[in-house]
Amino acid sequence: MRRQRRNSQLSAINHIDLTNLIDVAFTLLIVFMITIPLVEYNVNVSPPEMNAQAIEDKDSVYVNLNSKNQVFFQDQPVTRDELQGKIDSSVTAKPNSTVFLRADGICSYNQVMDVMKIIKSAGAKNISLITLKED
């Protein structure tokens, strides 16, 4: 008879109730599913104020991009192929010169990046974007 008692005690241990554990796991899963997207897309960015100062570098090269997607090198209209050659020759003459890119506010990000790629592929090491001083 002793043997039967041990079997009955072991059979009671054999059955564990997992309902509470599953409830806690699902609750945590729901909490994380709700909070992670809020944390991921809630980014506080405080951009600096634009305290633009006068540009005094005489070795600088200026590239302009107008609202019609036309490129100007030192106030002269050029094609994109000509731009690369002119920047290459000016950077070769003055290796530490800075290329300033001024684009119209209507220009898309893609247009500005295309011109920046041309400037970078021409060998310019220093590229700066020109902005207006805010009132």
pLDDT number for residue 53: 61
Q: Which pLDDT score is estimated for 30?
A: 92
The confidence score (pLDDT) of residue 2 equals 54
For 61-129, CATH number? 3.30.420.270
State the pLDDT at residue 45: 42
pLDDT, position 46: 46
What's the pTM?
0.56
What's the pLDDT score for residue 54?
63
Query: How far is Cα 102 from Cα 130, in angstroms, rounded to an integer?
Result: 5
In this prediction, residue 13 carries a pLDDT of 62
3-state secondary structure the chain: CHHHHHHHHHHHHCCCCCHHHHHHHHHHHHHHHHHHHHHHHCCCCCCCCCCCCCCCCCCCEEEEECCCCCEEECCEEECHHHHHHHHHHHHHHCCCCEEEEEECCCCCHHHHHHHHHHHHHCCCCEEEECCCCCC
In the chain, what are the domain boundaries? Answer: 2-41, 61-129
- What pLDDT is attached to residue 47? 45
pLDDT at res. 12? 57
Mean pLDDT by 10 residues, the chain (135 residues): 56 73 93 75 49 64 86 87 89 84 84 90 85 66
